[in-house]
């Protein structure tokens, strides 16, 4: 089955056909770096990283570009508060963002362009738009995009220009009287006192937000791209304006498929600092392994609103641990398994196990339905737990383990945890406990269990032997 993508542009699912066979050009709008990223930022990062991973699993070469907006009013405000250059703020939070992304197991992008490093390309595109009559320079040097000059404006958000204008009349702000039309938007704006700026033939200033992504996408992916993605809050005006600028400048369709994830709510309310329900990824990492956050984000379809709560995070933790525990059990069995060929029965069972991979693929082919894909992994885990035994062949156990790990890895879930080394004194205590149990000295065995628990080591007596995990 081919991959079906819900395209915001057409408002329907479409078969994915890349512009170039075997290759995917994908641009995802990244964060504005003035603070630690919040869990709302994390959702598109995790979702579209998973889309990329699945595309690669299907054999595509993915050129994945995601920007950092490193010049912005919020960055400048924070820099002024701290008495430092804006670049100090943006570089600090780019580094912190990358730490959080690593914790969420997000693959590094092919390229992470920064807006401040692409100013030359922005000046070129703005000049092209002026030359073509799609932009104009106001008296103070502000450059505006002439929205009505682009006949398809509104095709992504499915908004009508006249309706937009009617709604905008009451929203006029300072400087709006320079515009030919209230709907025109800024491409370049003059500097204010204490702001970073760049020289241009119109004025010393800095770019508007929308032009940044158009230019960075063009430079690293070309004039036409396969997939442009981001949160649904970016559909209008940001992505709508990107289309207008890019297509007016390049005279080519900009992006073939537009993907947008729905909002993340906190306890059924929109996330907001004023409501006190604002969580950074870093705060979540203090309570949970960020793999749990990733699992949680994938537990619903990306186009469905997702509600974040303590109960749902606990459920995600349990779900994730079920998969990890199954892989741990397989590793435990593998250590003791006989190095023999698979039996006929095992080969049949393995064929049955591969059916869950088919279910997984079908879910992901249907507009990246990660909720159903995780359900297929759980079915596989249940099957493995029932059919992996102490007498199973090493080849069979290894094939089952590979099956779970491969599917989990497509979701970016690390389920094959590296073995942790126990301190020698803890190892000795576990051995002493085993000896005490053998000698029927259960009081001493219980003492040792309690002692280990105090050290954060939980023992589990299984039919295969003693297992341990950190509390």
Percent of the chain with pLDDT over 90: 81
Q: Considering the domain boundaries, does residue 301 fall inside one?
A: no
CB-based contact 236:157 (threshold 8 Å): yes
Q: What is the pLDDT of residues 157-201, one digit of tens each?
A: 999 888 776 544 444 444 567 999 999 999 999 999 989 999 999
Residues 443 and 401 in one domain: no
Q: Is residue 274 part of a domain?
A: no
Q: Are residues 123 and 243 in the same domain?
A: yes
Whether 223 and 372 share a structural domain: no
In angstroms, the CA 222 to CA 231 distance is 22
CATH number of residue 253's parent domain: 3.40.50.620
Q: Are residues 63 and 146 in the same domain?
A: yes
Report the pLDDT value the prediction gives residue 170, as an integer from 0 to 100: 40
Residues 107 and 221 occupy one common structural domain = yes
**Same domain, yes or no: 385 and 254:** no
In a domain, 116, yes or no: yes
CA separation, residue 248 to residues 82, 138, 210 (Å): 40, 20, 14
Same domain flag for 371 and 457: no
Per-residue pLDDT averaged across 257-276, rounded?
A: 87
In terms of domains, do 108 and 141 share one? yes
Looking at residues 275-294, what average pLDDT do you find?
Answer: 92
End-of-domain residue from the set 199, 227, 261:
261
Across the chain, mean pLDDT equals 93
Best CA proximity match to 4, nearest among 366, 363, 456, 285:
366
**Which of 94-108, 202-216, 402-416, 425-439 bottoms out in mean pLDDT, i.e. has the lowest?**
425-439
Q: Let me know whether 393 and 446 are in one domain.
A: no
Specify whether the CB–CB gap between 382 and 355 falls below 8 A. Answer: no
Reported as a single tens digit per residue, the pLDDT across 61-89 is 999 999 999 999 999 999 999 999 999 99
366 belongs to a structural domain? yes
Whether residue 428 sits in one domain with residue 406? no
Could you tell me the CATH number of the domain that includes residue 374?
1.20.120.640
Query: Last residue of some domain: 222, 242, 261?
Result: 261
270 within some domain: no
Residue 462's pLDDT band (boundaries 50, 70, 90)?
A: confident
* Residue-number span of the structural domain to which 450 is assigned: 424-470
pLDDT bin (cut points 50, 70, 90) of residue 470 is confident
Is there a domain that residue 299 lies in? Answer: no
Q: Domain tally for the chain?
A: 3
Beta strands in 31-170 (DSSP E): 61-66, 135-137, 143-145
Region of poorest pLDDT, from 6-20, 302-316, 442-456: 442-456
Last residue within a domain, chosen from 261, 277, 300: 261
Task: Tell me, yes or no, whether 193 and 124 share the same domain.
Answer: yes
Q: For residue 27, tell me if it sits in a domain.
A: yes
Does residue 222 belong to any structural domain of this protein? yes
């Amino acid at each position: 089955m081919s991959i079906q993508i819900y395209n915001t542009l057409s408002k329907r699912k479409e078969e994915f056909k890349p512009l170039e066979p075997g290759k995917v050009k994908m641009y995802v709008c990244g964060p504005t770096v003035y603070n630690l990223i919040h869990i709302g930022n994390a959702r598109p990062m995790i979702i579209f990283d998973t889309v990329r991973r699945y595309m690669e699993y299907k054999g595509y070469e993915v050129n994945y570009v995601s920007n950092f907006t490193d010049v912005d009013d919020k960055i400048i405000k924070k820099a002024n508060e701290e008495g430092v250059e804006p670049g100090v703020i943006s570089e600090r939070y780019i580094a912190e963002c990358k730490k959080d992304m690593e914790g969420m197991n997000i693959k590094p992008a092919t390229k992470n362009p920064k807006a401040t490093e692409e100013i030359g390309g922005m000046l070129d595109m703005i000049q092209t738009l002026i030359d073509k009559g799609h932009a104009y320079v106001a008296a103070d040097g502000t450059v505006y995009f002439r929205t009505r000059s682009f006949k398809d404006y509104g095709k992504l958000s499915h908004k009508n220009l006249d309706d937009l204008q009617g709604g905008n009349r009451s929203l006029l702000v300072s400087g709006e009287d320079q515009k030919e039309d209230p709907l025109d938007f800024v491409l370049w704006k003059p500097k204010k006192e204490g702001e970073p700026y760049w020289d241009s033939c119109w004025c010393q200033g800095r770019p508007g937000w929308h032009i940044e992504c158009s230019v960075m996408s063009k430079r690293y992916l070309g004039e036409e791209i396969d997939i442009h993605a981001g949160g649904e809050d970016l559909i209008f005006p940001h992505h709508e304006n990107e289309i207008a600028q890019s297509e007016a400048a390049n005279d080519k369709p900009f992006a073939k498929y537009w993907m947008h994830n729905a909002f993340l709510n906190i306890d059924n309310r929109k996330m907001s600092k004023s409501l006190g329900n604002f969580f950074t990824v870093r705060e979540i990492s203090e309570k949970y392994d960020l793999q749990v956050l990733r699992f949680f984000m994938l537990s619903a379809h990306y186009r469905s609103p997702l509600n974040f709560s303590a109960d749902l995070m606990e459920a995600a933790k349990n779900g994730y641990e079920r998969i990890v525990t199954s892989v741990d059990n397989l590793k435990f069995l593998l250590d003791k398994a006989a190095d023999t060929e698979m039996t006929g029965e095992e080969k049949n069972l393995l064929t049955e196990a591969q059916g869950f991979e088919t279910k997984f693929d079908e879910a992901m082919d249907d507009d990246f339905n990660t909720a159903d894909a995780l359900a297929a992994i759980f079915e596989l885990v249940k099957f493995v737990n029932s059919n992996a035994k102490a007498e199973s062949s090493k080849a069979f156990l290894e094939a089952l383990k590979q099956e779970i790990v491969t599917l989990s890895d497509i979701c970016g879930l690390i389920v094959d945890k590296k073995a942790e080394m126990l301190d020698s004194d803890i190892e000795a205590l576990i051995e002493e406990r085993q000896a005490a149990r053998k000698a029927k000295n259960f009081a001493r065995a219980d003492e040792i269990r309690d002692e280990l628990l105090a050290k954060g080591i939980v023992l589990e007596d299984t039919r295969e032997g003693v297992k341990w995990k950190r509390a």
